[in-house]
Chains A and B, each alone.
Chain A
Amino acid sequence: MKALRVRRASSKAGVRGPLGLAFHALFRTKTGLFGVGVVVFFSLMGVLAPFIAPYDPYEQSVLNRLKPPSWEHPLGTDEFGRDILTRIMYGAKTTLMAGVVTVLMALSIGLPLGLIAGYYGGYIDHIVSRGADILLAFPGYLLALAIVAFLGPGLFNAMLAVAIFLIPIYIRTIRGIVLSVKNLEYIEASKVFGTGSLSIMKDHIFPNVIPELIVLTTFSTADAILVTSALSFLGLGAQPPEPEWGLMASSGRYYLAAAPWVSIFPAAMIFLVVLAFNLIGEALVDTLIKRR
C-alpha cells in the first residue's frame, strides 16, 4: 500500500514526495525564488527587529514629526516623529504572524471537516457542506467585518474573523479532492483488508490532499494578510500605537498631501509580502497541480 501511495503522489518526479516537489519548484522558477526571498527577508526582519532596528518603535519626538526620508530616517518619520523604518521592521512580525496564524486556525477546522465530509458522505457531508454554503453566502469579507463588529475591534478578533471567512474555502476544496480519490482501487482494496476509517483517511486519502493543500495555504496566507491588514486599516484590527502596517497606512493617510511616505511605505510592504505569497503559490500550482 505504501509504495502505491508514494508513486501516485509523485508520478512525474521519481521518488520526490509533494513537499520535495514543492521545494524543487520554488528554486527552479525566478518568480518562486523571488517570493521565497521576500518572505525570508521579512521573516528575518521581523525576528531581528529588536536587534537591528535603529530606533524604538514607540518613541515619539515632536521635533521630528513628518520628516521626509533622509540618512537619519531612511523612510522618514510619522505624525508622532516615530521612525518609519523601525516600525516597518517591527510590523513585519505582526503581519506575517497574522497571515500564518489565521491560516493555521482555518486549516485546523477546515481540514478535518473537509476530510470527514468527503469520506463519510451522507448526512455528515450534508451538514458540513450546508454549513460551508451558509458561510459562503456572505459576500467577500463581509462575514469577517460582521464578526469583528460583534466581537469588538482588535488584531486577534480580526484574525479569528478572517479564519472563519477562510474555513468554508478549505472545506470545499478538501472535500472535493477526497471525493475524487475515495473510490480509487487501492483505497477500496485497503478497505477490503479491513483497515480502519481513520487509518485510511490518514495514510491513503490525506497524502492526495497534500499538494493542493500546500497551494491553498500559500494563496490563503496572501488573502489573510490582505484582509487582516484591511481590517486594521479600517480601525477594526490592530490598535494604536502598535506598529502594524495596515494601521500605519491608515493613520498616515491624513497627512498624505504633505507626507505621503507615512502611509505609502507601510502599504507598499503589505503589497510586497502578499505578492510574494501569491508568486510562491503560482510556482507551486505549476508543479504540484497542473503537472501531477
Chain B
Amino acid sequence: MSLARYILYRFFLMIPTLLIITFIVFSLIHFIPGDPIRAIAGINASPEDIERIKREMGWYDPIHVQYFRWLSKVVTGDLGKSIRTGYEVSEIIARTLPNTLELAVLSMAFALSMGIPVGIYAAYKRGSPIDRAIILLSLTGSSFPQFLIGLVLIYVVSVELNLLPSAGKQGPIYTLEGFKSALMPALTLSLYSAGIIARITRSSTAKVFSELYTLYAQAKGLPKRTVIFRHVLRNSLIPVISIAGIQFGFLMGGAVIVETIFAWPGIGRQLVDAIISRDYILVQGIVLVYTVLFMVLNLIVDISYKILDPRVELK
C-alpha cells in the first residue's frame, strides 16, 4: 500500500470509531443518576421549567434522533452553551485549549530531553550499576503523584526561595515572564512521561546495541560516536516516537491535575470546574475535543512512523 493510500485508509477507518465515540460522549448525559434535566436546570427549577427545557432539548425523541441532531450541530462547531455561564462551549475551548497545548508541548520537550539521553546512557552501560540506578530512577519518576511534585516545587521554589510564580499564566511561553510561569507546571507534568520514555529508549537501544550490524560497525573500527549516532540511534529511537505520541495524550490528560495545582488557565482545569459545577454540556464538549485531538495525534504518529522507518509494513 502506498503512503497516500494508507493515510486515506486510516482516515476513513477513523470515521466509525469517531461515530461510536461521539455517541458514547453524547449518551453519557443519559446515565446521570436521577433526573439529568433536573441536575442541569438546578434545584430551584420548577417542574414546569424542567418540562419546558426537556421539550426544547427534544428529550422525548428517540436517542438516535437526538444524537444525529446533536452531531449535525457539532460538525459545524456548535457544541452548545455552558449551563453555568451561558458562554458558547466552543468559545471556552478556543480560549483555554491553546494554554494547555503550550504546557503540553513544553512538558514533552522536557520529558524527551530528560528521558532520551538517560535511556541511551543506560543502554550503553547496560547491566552496570549505573544502568540499574537509572532504571530505578525512572521507575521512581513515574511513581510520583503529580500533586506531590507540584506541591513540593511550589513550597521550595515559590514559598521558600521566591524564585518563580506559584500560580497563573503570565503570558505566552516564548516570553520570559510566560516561560517562568510555565516552568514549574511543565516540569511537574513531564516527570511521569520522562520516566516512561527513558525506559522505552533504554530497552529499544539495548536491543539495537546487540544487533549484528552494530557489532560490525564497531569491528570496522568506527569511532564510538559514529556507531551510536549513525547506527544505533537511528534505529532505536523509532519506537520512542510512538511512545512519545501516546505520552503526549497522557500529558494532555495529566494537565488536569497540574493546571488545578498551578491555577493554569487551561482546558483541563476548565474540565474539573465543569465536572464539579455539573456543567454537563461543557464536560461533553471538552471530552469530545480532547478525544478527537488524541485520535488525530495517533494518526499522525502512525504516519510519521512509516515515513521514518520504511521497513514498517502498511496494513
Contact = CB atoms under 8 A, between A and B. Distances in A.
Given A140-B252, A150-B31, A279-B139, A230 B146 contact: yes
Interface stretch (B19-27, B43-51, B70-78, B302-310): B19-27
Given A235-B276, A267-B145, A146 B20 contact: no
Given A249-B147, A250-B147, A139 B252 contact: yes
B294 A139 contact: yes
Given A149-B283, A150-B29, A260-B155, A249 B17 contact: no
Given A230-B147, A279-B139, A139 B20 contact: no
Interface residues of A, number: 44
A208 interface: no
A230 B257 contact: yes
Contact of A139 (B140, B249, B275): B249
B239 interface: no
B193 to A, nearest CB: 10
Interface residues of B, number: 50
Contact of B145 (A133, A229, A260): A229
B253 interface: yes
A263 interface: yes
- For the residues of B in contact with A, the DSSP-based class is helix
A133 B17 contact: yes
B62 interface: no
A148 B143 contact: no
A146 B145 contact: no
Contacts of A246: 145, 147
A263 B151 contact: yes
A268 B140 CA distance: 12
- From A137, A235, A263, A268, residue with most partner B Cβ within 10 Å: A137
B71 to A, nearest CB: 17
A4 interface: no
A51 B167 CA distance: 41
Given A31-B136, A133-B17, A151-B31, A139 B291 contact: yes
B291 A142 contact: yes
17 contacts: A134-B17, A137-B298, A139-B253, A142-B287, A145-B256, A146-B283, A148-B275, A149-B287, A153-B275, A234-B260, A249-B148, A260-B155, A263-B147, A267-B148, A271-B145, A274-B145, A278-B139
Given A137-B291, A282-B139, 18 more contacts: A134-B20, A139-B249, A140-B252, A142-B253, A142-B290, A145-B253, A148-B275, A149-B274, A153-B275, A230-B146, A230-B147, A230-B257, A233-B145, A236-B276, A246-B147, A249-B147, A264-B155, A278-B139
